[in-house]
Structure 1
Amino acid sequence: MGKVTGFLEYERIEEGYEPPPARLKTWKEFVITLNADQAKVQGARCMDCGTPFCNSGCPVNNVIPDFNDLVYQGDWKNAITVLHSTNNFPEFTGRVCPAPCEAACTLNVNDDAVGIKSIEHAIIDRAWAEGWVQPEVPAVKTGKKVAVVGSGPAGLAAAQQLARAGHDVTVFEKNSRIGGLLRYGIPDFKMEKTHIDRRIAQMQAEGVVFRTGVLVGAFPVDSKVTNDARETVSAEQLKAEFDAVLLTGGSENSRDLPVPGRELDGVHFAMEFLPQQNKVVAGDKLKKQLRADGKHVIVIGGGDTGSDCVGTSNRHGAASVTQFELMPQPPEQEDKPLTWPYWPTKLRTSSSHEEGCEREFAIATKEIIGSKGKVTAVKTVRVQLEGGKFVEVPGTEQEHKADLVLLAMGFTSPVGTVLDAFGVQKDARGNARAGTEDGTGYRTNVDKVFAAGDMRRGQSLVVWAIREGRQAAREVDAYLMGRSSLPR
């Protein structure tokens, strides 16, 4: 611990944003990171906790007090070493993680939490700038071959860990670029894709082979999941060629809205809308891009994906953007004595909301109205919770003008045909059935086939995907070698 009284002397410093008029003109990141002095002050606020709840609040169990202290001491190089010991990709989490560690911060009991996420962001950006992030090539190769299906954060974390253990790792990705949700789900203004590209370069130097445009198994004909595959590989081929197969394909089936008018032109899943813009930013040419220019946009779903639709629509130049949330509006301030150290329910306003958005809570969609096959309005009703069920409030029906309706209500399950191709059993939610017990963790019912990430646990956070990838890599390594020295 650096300064014993730091938490009493210094206030929390938030990362800054470029003003909306400037940032809406570009797809670049707009967060102003902490400088070295600001990060030092934030590090000084870290308390000498008997039990640092931030460690357990973080899904990858970052050793947070240690790197906070190292930043306070000015030892940035050791700070990135500590950070990398638990997190392969802090540049991802430092940008898009909601920071459950801060909710669990002891200082958050009756004050503002330590700015852990902003410190993490500052550490990794400094590390890249100083050239401290280098390939870690294994000294000895095992001769074992591992296939990783899916290149999202879980697949990338697992692939890097397995390559560093000396295995020959090949990552299969159905799209033309590596990254999964990081590449095609998160807008560039939240995370520029150069962060993925330089990690890919590092991993290639460590021996990882990436095969893009390769579909493992098959997709349903009517699948809405993004797919640029140019070739197909069967499950039998992978099982025959590799000593182990790890499935990390994510949870890609979007939750639908079964109401009259769903079939109208102009009603789309968020994951039809967002990946197209990411592809355009990357330089791809699309014939009929979904755009919000001059349109009245309704976003149905109040989570992060819905917020990303808001920010993207504003950058397109939408005439208006309205976001619907079925749940009632949460309180602006959580009840800390009741919720700490757990993730609290409270009103969260994203940078996209601040750029321009009407938010409607406790509202349900009854019908999507159209003319000549195109959406023109959304019919809604107010709801309230009674006995655990949503009940319509009489006399509250309303029509909202709409030219584009984006469904951002989360994801229900992975693409089933991938699991079906391997014969993997599913749980009640359609996810791959695989436990996390040490020694047999992440194994499916199929010999030498493992599953991790959202494909196993369901829709979750990037930081949870990294955790799952790291833990699954340890289990695969132990399966191949009889034991593993990889961290759990």
Structure 2
Amino acid sequence: MGKVTGFKEFERQDEGYTPVKDRVQHYKEFTVPLSDAEITKQGSRCMDCGIPFCHSGCPLGNLIPDFNHMVHQGEWQKASWLLHSTNNFPEFTGRLCPAPCEKACVLGIIEDPISIENIEKNIVERAFKEGWIKPQPPKTRTGKTVAVVGSGPAGLATAQQLNRAGHTVTVFERDDEVGGLLRYGIPNFKLEKEIIDRRLAILKAEGITFKTNVNVGVNYDVEKLHEFDAVVLCGGATERRSLPTPGIDADGVVQAMDFLTQQTKVVFGKEVKDQVLATGKDVIVIGGGDTGSDCIGTSNRHGAKSVVNFEILPKPPGHRSPTTPWPFWPLQLKTSSSHEEGVERNWLINTKEFVKDENGKLIALKTVNVEWKMVPGERPQLIEIAGTEKTWPCDLALLALGFTGPEATIAQKLGIETDARSNYKAEYGKYQTNIPNIFTAGDMRRGQSLIVWAISEGREAARQVDIYLMGKSDLPTKDATGDLVAL
């Protein structure tokens, strides 16, 4: 694949960024694209490795060596066809996926891996620019109707696949715009919302119906779902994790998703009452994941006085840890573009108290340094280190602690079984709940996960729904190795 000696001749090149002082003044994407010639070189680096592991690292089973080879040859339209054969929305994954495929790249054992994610992004952007991505409505309709609850990546993938099978699909979204966390949970500087709208125009032209401001189980009676031949629940894992910490009710302790959602709505001129702003404040972001990083980038754009980040886990090593060898996802320090914009990062630190003034407003955080005691066969123990107590000035604390699972409303009202983690219970590979015509996919089934897993589950669930409705399916699926077995 690629040029036989390409990985020896060309070094990995990634997109650049505009200067920090410029990009923190706006909420637009700020990457500096590589030239077509340079992207071609990056595709040429894909080595003829015999047994590629990249597509096994990818939950979608993307045909990575194949589309890399097409880019190497300048066959961009064929590259787009290959990419879309396994991935409904490469414009999302090409911007937001942490790229487990790259961590499984064989070249990554000895050199920098292939820049798969950026190649993917460039393929789909070229395809939109050239007009190769067009609506593909089904030639015939089956007469079967399907409701998809939730319009995040899992819901959108489910809807498109089922629509392609000829079923009549209606997608319900409780927010005022389609997209789920893609719309309001991801800052505009990482994913401009026009990118979502561009794809939605395709989906609508293919015949999918979208209904917004419909909160199933709240302002839409769950009994109405029985009017559909099948239902797929893709509502995500949206129960936010909090802390059992004194002072958590202080005015100034805010959930990260509220903070990020408000800002995105403001960017698009929507009315937001009492927007939480970081302007001129000492901000502490608790949580070291991607959402925490998004809060850091947004706080810097607000003009925060200072931005500090807390993480209770140890600082990861700068290089792949021996505990997570290739081709596994590595334990390794990640520094995002938002981190580079300005933040003080702290590891092994635990918040003990949110300090309030007499009016209940947050003024400080009290912390203690910790260590983890590892005992074979037992759960890790969190040990506080005496004498490390510290008080940090803080006007705004943002809780970026992830999610505990899906909301229970629909499960309770429909009688759907849940597992020990509150996820909607459905066997992987089947996606069928204890109610035969109701399926579930994405974070609602598996818990908080990656966008690439959401799309994968949506595609696989759609196939199972199609089989349930029709007795068979021509929709693609993957075998146990991750290889595509039907197109």
- TM value normalised by structure 2: 0.96
Q: Is 2:421 the counterpart of 1:429?
A: yes
C-alpha displacement of 1:370: 1.0
Contact 2:323 2:331 (8 Å CA) reproduced:
no
Tell me the equivalent position of 1:457: 446
Work out the CA distance in 1 between the residues paired with 2:350 and 2:2.
51
Q: Deviations over 1:377-406 (max 9, x none)?
A: 010000001132110011000011100001
SS in 2 for 1:334: coil
Tell me the equivalent position of 2:432: 443
Contact 1:264 1:370 (8 Å CA) reproduced:
yes
SS in 2 for 1:406: strand
- Matching of residues 311-326 of structure 1 within 5 Å: 311-326=297-312
C-alpha displacement of 1:355: 0.3
Tell me the equivalent position of 2:480: none
C-alpha displacement of 1:427: 0.4
Contact 2:97 2:450 (8 Å CA) reproduced:
yes
Tell me the equivalent position of 1:52: 52
* Structure 2 segments unaligned to the other structure (5+ residues): 375-379, 478-487
C-alpha displacement of 1:283: 1.6
- TM value normalised by structure 1: 0.95
Q: Is 2:222 the counterpart of 1:235?
A: yes
Contact 1:35 1:122 (8 Å CA) reproduced:
no
C-alpha displacement of 1:336: 6.2
C-alpha displacement of 1:215: 1.0
Once superposed, what is the RMSD of the aligned Cα atoms?
A: 0.9
Q: Is 2:356 the counterpart of 1:364?
A: no
Tell me the equivalent position of 2:101: 101
Work out the CA distance in 1 between the residues paired with 2:445 and 2:366.
36
Work out the CA distance in 2 between the residues paired with 1:206 and 1:215.
24
Work out the CA distance in 2 between the residues paired with 1:418 and 1:32.
44
Q: Deviations over 1:347-375 (max 9, x none)?
A: 11000000000000000001110102000
- Matching of residues 107-126 of structure 1 within 5 Å: 107-126=107-126
Q: Is 2:393 the counterpart of 1:404?
A: no
- Matching of residues 468-479 of structure 1 within 5 Å: 468-479=457-468
Q: Deviations over 1:391-422 (max 9, x none)?
A: 00110000111000010011001011122122
Work out the CA distance in 1 between the residues paired with 2:304 and 2:401.
21
Contact 2:2 2:48 (8 Å CA) reproduced:
no
C-alpha displacement of 1:287: 2.1
C-alpha displacement of 1:338: 5.2
Tell me the equivalent position of 1:137: 137
Q: Percent identity?
A: 58
Work out the CA distance in 1 between the residues paired with 2:25 and 2:138.
44
SS in 2 for 1:146: strand
Matched residue count: 471
C-alpha displacement of 1:202: 0.5
Tell me the equivalent position of 1:480: 469
Work out the CA distance in 2 between the residues paired with 1:49 and 1:187.
37
Contact 1:109 1:337 (8 Å CA) reproduced:
no
Work out the CA distance in 2 between the residues paired with 1:481 and 1:447.
14
Contact 1:147 1:172 (8 Å CA) reproduced:
yes
Ranges of 4+ aligned residues in structure 1 off by more than 6 Å:
none
Work out the CA distance in 2 between the residues paired with 1:38 and 1:53.
24
Tell me the equivalent position of 1:342: 328
C-alpha displacement of 1:34: 2.3
Contact 2:2 2:47 (8 Å CA) reproduced:
no
Work out the CA distance in 2 between the residues paired with 1:275 and 1:295.
19
Contact 2:237 2:403 (8 Å CA) reproduced:
yes
Tell me the equivalent position of 1:248: 234
Q: Is 2:366 the counterpart of 1:379?
A: yes
Structure 1 stretch 393-402 or stretch 32-41: which is displaced more? 32-41
